[in-house]
Chain A
Amino acid sequence: DAGITQSPRHKVTETGTPVTLRCHQTENHRYMYWYRQDPGHGLRLIHYSYGVKDTDKGEVSDGYSVSRSKTEDFLLTLESATSSQTSVYFCAISSDRGGFYGYTFGSGTRLTVV
């Protein structure tokens, strides 16, 4: 999607290995979010950022960490991947707190942990 890219698009990794997903935006938006999408659960928030070096936990943050050292990049790290973290991961950006103009989503990263 325009203004936001996720990498990689697909990844297969082994249990116990660390994995980092990247979200890059060119919109200069303040707010960035990481969600995971699983069948039967919809989208669940993992972590979000409200500015450079300002991050907070979402509802399913265990096993994940994030970093935002500059406005355009928001990294999601699975510290030691487990099979339960097999999912599709979406990054989203917003210019305002409540998403008044809507969130813009990336195309997703499909992660498989074997």
Chain B
Amino acid sequence: SQQGEEDPQALSIQEGENATMNCSYKTSINNLQWYRQNSGRGLVHLILIRSNEREKHSGRLRVTLDTSKKSSSLLITASRAADTASYFCATDLLQGAQKLVFGQGTRLTINP
């Protein structure tokens, strides 16, 4: 089964509202990353949080990490129509090989 699982699978909100997506994982990690994918395109790296960090900000993005619960959340504040995309978490496993493991993604729709 997947190392990372996002919740919810789909989220629809009004423009200007905040969007929160969650990611849970199973095994210890070095870092956790979030990616965005617009329809028909490749994934784009958004933000990385290390296992010894609890919170990180980048523009309108806020990521938290709780290693005791093996979970992370991505908050997008003041959402815009251009934020409509799928969002994926990816984990760099502590005991893993040289690769990231991706979750199944959250489909975010921002309604004007």
Contact = CB atoms under 8 A, between A and B. Distances in A.
Interface stretch (A14-22, A63-71, A78-86, A93-101): A93-101
B42 A99 contact: no
B101 A102 contact: no
A105 B44 contact: yes
Given A100-B31, A102-B33, A108 B101 contact: no
Contacts of A43: 43, 88, 102
B49 to A, nearest CB: 11
B43 A45 contact: no
Contact-residue bracket for chain A: 20 to 34
B88 A106 contact: no
Interface residues of B, number: 24
Contact of B31 (A33, A98, A103, A107): A98
A58 interface: yes
A40 B32 CA distance: 21
A45 B101 contact: yes
B42 A45 contact: no
Contacts of A56: 97
A104 B48 CA distance: 13
B104 to A, nearest CB: 4
Nearest to A41: B104
A42 B33 CA distance: 15
Interface in A1-45: 1, 31, 33, 35, 40-45
A90 B86 CA distance: 15
Interface of A: 1, 31, 33, 35, 40-45, 48, 50, 56, 58, 90, 92, 97-108
19 contacts: A1-B42, A31-B98, A42-B2, A42-B102, A43-B43, A92-B42, A92-B43, A97-B98, A98-B31, A99-B33, A100-B31, A101-B48, A102-B45, A103-B100, A105-B42, A105-B43, A107-B41, A107-B42, A108-B41
